[in-house]
Amino acid sequence: MLYTITLILFYFLTPILLIYWAHISKTVNKIGAVVMAYAIGLIVGNLGLFPHASEAYNALLSGKSFLPNHEIQKHLADGKILESDLILNQIKLVQDTIMSIAIPLALPLLLFSLNLRRWLKLAPEALLSLILGISSLIIVLVAGYFLFGNHINESWKIAGVLCGVYTGGTPNLAAIGTALEVTPNTFVLVNTYDMVLGSVCLFFLLTGAQKLFNKVLPHFHDNHEHFKLKKVVQENEGIDNYLGMLNKKGFIQLSKALGLSVLILGIAFTISLLVAKNSQTVVIILSITTLGLLFSTIKAISNIEKTFQLGMYFIIVFSLVVASMADLRSMFRIDFLNLFMYVAFTVFGSMIVHVFLSYLFKVDSDTTIITITALTFSPPFVPVVASALKNKEIIITGITAGILGYAFGNYLGVGVAYFLKGF
């Protein structure tokens, strides 16, 4: 019991410390609390702090996350497993439970702040660029699936996860990974490859992309509608600002938002009971996404401050848990080379196809760059790249494309995964 309580406290308190650390340290803030959570989780999970499973216990699991308490006690009494297996099973129960609730609670909170009506009114011209970006991604994902899929375990799930991460970032990655029940090792490995290759891509977008794309695409022309950008920029630059969440007013408002998130989870779970058991997780995630979007259209809900930050807290919790479950010894085997190639093909292939489609539809270079940024890295990166492009007018287009991609990425990811599963 002490082990269980300690583990729960570790998983829920460490993200708070990471958020605070990011607040006081510019270096940690640049790295990001999510990345730090992955790093700490990997270290804790691979230091030998958790017991190793016996061969008998692994055989009894046969694909399950953990064994029910009465079953594990019976096997222990019969001498089939070791005392350490009992402790490990309890650890797995805690990990699985937290993973099961973290994403369903986070999704509505993240979506409450979207206010899709406002985004659609602000920048309808972003829709074409968004469509081109998503089309590019799907074309490359499907092509990559047929190139590398036969050499990657559960490649259809990987395709769905990649579709999520390149339309909405870590929240969509986590949501689709949960919906498709991707193994922790694969989940962390995809995210690791994404971070490494993504940093190369971001460097290119900040430095040479504009000059290169200007050779084949129209230059940005001053026919975009001008908006008052100050409020929108401030909102997204402060997306990592967690201050004020625990004062009296913030605590009360966020408690209401969290209660609503629990209600949405309850409704989604009830809906899932109407379908086959092997489809229930997908139905829960998509139902939560739909209900979260619907509730975001209610002004009283979308106006609650810091719901996005509270949702991100649960994403950090999830990241810490899933990383602590990954086994580094098996992650970087040579047979994962095809997975690395698939991620690289998706990152850079989708960019090339996007530029080609922008050429066909006469979309300017700055709009193309900012849409790639928004879909690949999420809206908070938009002002940074816009500054490098010396073009603040492009911020609205980028943020809108990122918000819409984030909102609908779960549907796309699950849809692409099940489409490819049929081949």
Predicted local distance difference test score (pLDDT) of residue 223: 44
Amino acid (1-letter code) at residue 331: M
Give 406-416 pLDDT, tens digit per residue: 778 889 999 99
Give 325-360 pLDDT, tens digit per residue: 877 776 666 567 899 999 999 999 999 999 999 999
| Separation of alpha carbons 100 and 275, rounded Å | 19
SS3 category, 221? coil
Q: Which residue has the higher pLDDT, 21 or 247?
A: 21
Could you identify the residue written with the tokens 């109407």? 274
User: Hey, what are 399's tokens?
Assistant: 């943020």
CA dihedral 360, 365, 368, 369 (to 10 degrees): 150
- Predicted confidence (pLDDT) at residue 161 exceeds the cutoff of 60: yes
User: Hey, what are 54's tokens?
Assistant: 């016996």
Average pLDDT over residues 94-104: 88
Residues 6+ apart with CB under 8 A from 137: 163, 166, 167, 346, 350, 375
- Predicted confidence (pLDDT) at residue 146 exceeds the cutoff of 50: yes
Predicted local distance difference test score (pLDDT) of residue 351: 95
| Separation of alpha carbons 334 and 379, rounded Å | 35
Residues 6+ apart with CB under 8 A from 8: 94, 98
Predicted local distance difference test score (pLDDT) of residue 124: 65
- Predicted confidence (pLDDT) at residue 185 exceeds the cutoff of 80: no
DSSP string, 87-128: HHHHHHHHHHHHHHHHHHHHHHHHHHT--HHHHHHH-TTHHH
The answer to pTM > 0.85 is no
Distance (Å) of CA 267 to CA 123, 184, 291: 33, 27, 9
Predicted local distance difference test score (pLDDT) of residue 82: 86
Distance (Å) of CA 20 to CA 13, 229, 240: 11, 29, 11
Q: What is the mean pLDDT of the chain?
A: 84
Phi, psi of 277 (to 5 degrees): -60, -35
261 in Cβ contact with 108 (< 8 Å) = yes
Quickly state the pLDDT bin for 184 (edges 50, 70, 90). confident
| Separation of alpha carbons 260 and 363, rounded Å | 41
230 in Cβ contact with 239 (< 8 Å) = no
